[in-house]
Amino acid sequence: MEGITQIKNKISLINYTTIKVGGCSDYFSEPSSIEEFSYLIKWANSNKFECLILGAGSNTLIKNIDLKRLTICTRSMKKIHIDDETNIIFAQCGALLPKLSTLLAKNSFKGGEWAIGIPGTIGGAIYMNAGAGKCCISDNLISVKVIDPMTLSIFELQKNELKFNYRFSSFQENKLIILEAKFYFKQKGSKAAIMDCTQNILAQRKRLQPYHLPSFGSVFKNPANAFAGKLIEESGLKGESIGGAEVSSMHANFIVNKSSATSQDIFDLIVLIQKKVLQKHEILLHPEVRMIGF
């Protein structure tokens, strides 16, 4: 196939995750189009390899092992634009959330301010139904274009054909792979006010969260009527470390890679946090983080 992306061998995934930890993928590729993506899935199927789909690599813990699979990184599928006639936003799966937030603000659309500074892609955000405060990515979703990895069929699903809850989407169960999405943001407001709000949210995140160190973003889902970070802090775990992994002293729902942490260090720290919070509060925290290879 003319122009198909290269399939590389034995690629370390350390620089493809935000926490800078990861094993080695036997095969690796970065498609820049749906056609290339489809080709890679077909290649994996014909060679009987599992596929690991990576966007920005946030919320992902990959074990330090050789992964006998094809890793498809979506970073090159990052196109995003607004249709001037309909105000519908089209975004490929690898487009970054802060890019969406900034584009919306620059075009006077309200509703995307929450996404600024969140280290994820459109595909990963829809998969996790990412959000902040009372907002989430599914609020403004119209439809999602997907590929079925078993049949290679490509089709569009409307929002009402999907299920979304707190940090949950149908994609965590149905095995379909997200390629593109459409969004609609109704309200238009003052561009200056929206830009200010967006920048204030970013400044607050930088002030309260450990942006200067590799991390997942938030590690645990908030339980009903509580905040994971507060429960972890009240359990005396701020600053707790195992190897090079540490519970951030800035925000307890962040684990940071302070000095060459291994995947096992991080995994063990996640388990320790769960154990201590369960002992202190009788609440079992559930990770947002995907565990690959464990």
Other CB atoms within 10 A of residue 240 CB: 18
Using CB atoms within 10 A of its CB, is residue 84 exposed (0-12), middle (13-18) or buried (19+)?
exposed
Q: What are the beta bridge partners of residue 61?
A: 291
Which positions are catalytic? 167, 218, 288
Other CB atoms within 10 A of residue 44 CB: 21
What one-character-per-residue DSSP string does 252-293 give? Answer: TT-EEE-SS--HHHHHHHHHHHHHHHHHHHS----B-SEEE-
Q: How far is CA 92 from the centre of its chain?
A: 14
* Angstrom distance (rounded) from CA 214 to CA 20: 6
Tokens standing for residue 247? 């519970």
* Angstrom distance (rounded) from CA 217 to CA 132: 12
Collapsing DSSP to helix, strand or coil, 145 comes out as: strand
Other CB atoms within 10 A of residue 87 CB: 14
Other CB atoms within 10 A of residue 199 CB: 15
